[in-house]
Amino acid sequence: MQWIRRVHLYSGLFMFPWVMLYGITALLFNHPGAFPDRVRRTLTRADFAGTALEQLANPAADAEQVVAALNAKFAADDATASSFRLVHADQALYTRDVVVARARGAGQEHSVLLDLPSGTASISTMQQDDAQRPPFAVRGLKVSSSLSERVKTGIPEALARLNLSADDVSISVGSNLAFLVEAEGRLWRALYNVQTGAVTGRPADAPGPLTVRQFLTQLHMSHGYPSQNTTRWCWAVAVDAMFVAMVFWGFSGLLMWWQIKAVRFTGALVFVSSLIVAAMLALGMHSTIGG
């Protein structure tokens, strides 16, 4: 037990920065308005009056429209196709309560977080410097033999060699292509999104647009081992160490609690209560996330 206490203590001291990182960044994810790095505003129901978003999201009505569209499509393709019918319309729901949209214009970029149940939205606005706007910025650029097209073509062919069929391929998480380009006598650091075809960029000598909030949240989400032993690889080692430390803290804490006979009964009540509450929350979230 003396050895366990010492490892419990020193591992906690060593992993303290990571504990703070995950705690603070979890706060940032759960509370988008905390420590804002942009101008924030709110759209109420009154602001949406007279617009296409005046009506609140109605899952049942929207599901009816989807089924009607399916019936129209299949009837057009095959006159003998059977029709579809919506069942238990009251159980229709949107799997997420929020929709995130981006809007650009007049040198500004707006990130809109639309809350479906309430019909309200929060807006974060970032001013774009026209001097740092690249002259080659476009959206939906089609590039022949792009990585995206090669992925969509090559994966089905490779899967077929394993006797696996794939009629449709889409990229759920992509990788941007970063490169330097000269335009109007200036050197730019360009970024090509292989999924959307959007090309953006900034002056090569300009500091990155990464704010403190963005840096912390991206640190929180960074995971996985790259193929090369880089700084990101070392960060992945730290993430694994954090996992080992937190599991060890849990079990070593139980052992140290059990050694103190005076608090065994009270501690057992707290521990069992914790298991019950955690199980109830887990079942509730499983039902919510699973739809």
Judge whether residue 125 has pLDDT over 90.
no
Global confidence as pTM = 0.66
- The residues, any chain, with a CB within 8 Å of residue 132's CB and separated by 6 or more, are 202, 203, 206
Give the pLDDT confidence score for residue 281 in this predicted structure: 92
- Give the residue-averaged pLDDT of 107-134: 81
Helix or strand or coil: residue 95? coil
For 41: left if phi > 0, alpha if psi spans -120 to 50, otherwise beta; the answer is beta
Strand partners, 211: none
Instruction: Give the orientation angle of helix 231-258 with respect to helix 264-290, to 10 degrees.
Output: 140
Both tokens of 261, joined, read 């006979």
- pLDDT single digits (tens) 185-220: 889 889 898 888 889 888 888 776 677 888 888 888
**pLDDT higher than 70, residue 103:** yes
User: Given a cut of 70, is residue 132 above it in pLDDT?
Assistant: no
**Given pLDDT bands bounded at 50, 70 and 90, which one contains residue 270?**
very high
Q: What is the mean pLDDT of the chain?
A: 85
Q: What percent of the chain has pLDDT over 90?
A: 19
Q: Which H/E stretch holds residue 192?
A: strand 186-193
- In b/e form, how buried is each residue of 12-43, taking b as 16+ CB within 10 angstroms? eeebeebeebbeebeebeeeeeeeeeeeeeeb
Identity at 130, one-letter amino acid code? D
Instruction: Tell me: pLDDT of 32 over 80.
Output: no
Residue 271 pLDDT class (50, 70, 90 cuts): very high
- Are residues 236 and 225 in contact, defined by beta-carbon separation less than 8 angstroms? yes
Whole-number Å distance between alpha carbons of 232 and 229 = 8
Let me know: does 257 contact 266? Beta carbons within 8 Å: no
pLDDT band at 55 (very low <50, low <70, confident <90, very high): confident
Provide the percentage of residues in the chain whose pLDDT is more than 70: 96
Give tens-digit pLDDT for 139-179.
888 888 888 888 888 888 888 888 888 888 888 777 789 88
| Contact assessment for residue 36 and residue 124, using Cβ atoms and an 8 Å cutoff | yes
Q: Which two tokens stand for residue 166?
A: 């794939």
Strand 199-203 vs strand 108-115: parallel, antiparallel, or unpaired? Answer: unpaired
pLDDT of residue 76: 84
| Rounded-to-integer distance, Cα 107 and Cα 185, Å | 22
